[in-house]
Structure 1
């Protein structure tokens, strides 16, 4: 079982291309907060099915810039939604990211 998250980094408008690095940084920094809110909002579901906390989180970054067009495995949901789960610099040491070109 896994959770798939899709983030639009750039493409479709030249302004998005100009701020792709910033958008990627913001998604990586704030996604753990989003995942934590998701877990909190579906608290009853996770209480009834605690094994869902062990589901791997796959994050798909979509971009027309190859550097940001990738797939990362952020590990189990319970770790990916922790405060340092996706923060740049701390997440990389916590879980091994798996990169795949799209």
Structure 2
């Protein structure tokens, strides 16, 4: 896993969303530069499809409400038939290795929302790995933001 560096994170809030709200709907798009290692977090009412590319290596996330409980759902596009199986294996490994970095960037980049709504730190993170191959198509519980191990940052309160 890469180490999260807050100096390489750039956050953009889109129209209708501020650093403190709304929680729902609130969608996150994380893209990156392989060359510079920079992360780009866009937070809006919808996903930032204009920031994605044909590689489909972005991380998408959103807050979902079920009754009075919130969940943070992550959607990872492993494949939809466009990649050969050996490439799907590699993409799955990369997403799993780098997802903690993306989750750290979300938590750090949207810290004002978490400060305003501290119960979000205890919301379950559900990750949807989307693939046509059954062994890679799954939904997994990845804990909570409170449980994240963010390197080089003070512990979450």
Name the TM tier (shorter chain). Answer: 0.7 to 0.9
For residues 9-36 of structure 1, the C-alpha deviation after alignment (integer angstroms, 9 at most, x for no partner) is 1223134x33111111111111111111
Residue in structure 1 matching 2:137, options 59, 69, 91: 69
Structure 2 partner of 1:82: 149
Structure 1 partner of 2:72: 3
| Structure possessing the higher radius of gyration over alpha carbons | 2
CA distance in 2, matches of 1:21, 1:83: 26
The unaligned stretches of length 5 or more in structure 2 are 1-69, 152-157
CA RMSD of aligned residues (A): 1.6
The alpha-carbon deviation at position 82 of structure 1 amounts to: 1.8
The alpha-carbon deviation at position 47 of structure 1 amounts to: 1.0
Q: Which has the higher helix share?
A: 1
Q: Which has the higher strand share?
A: 2
With structure 2 as the length reference, what TM-score do the two structures score? 0.48
How is 1:14-93 mapped onto 2 (pairs within 5 angstroms)?
A: 14-15=83-84, 17-79=85-147, 81-83=148-150
> Displaced runs of 4+ in structure 1, greater than 6 A?
none
**Number of residue pairs the alignment of both structures matches:** 82
The alpha-carbon deviation at position 83 of structure 1 amounts to: 4.7
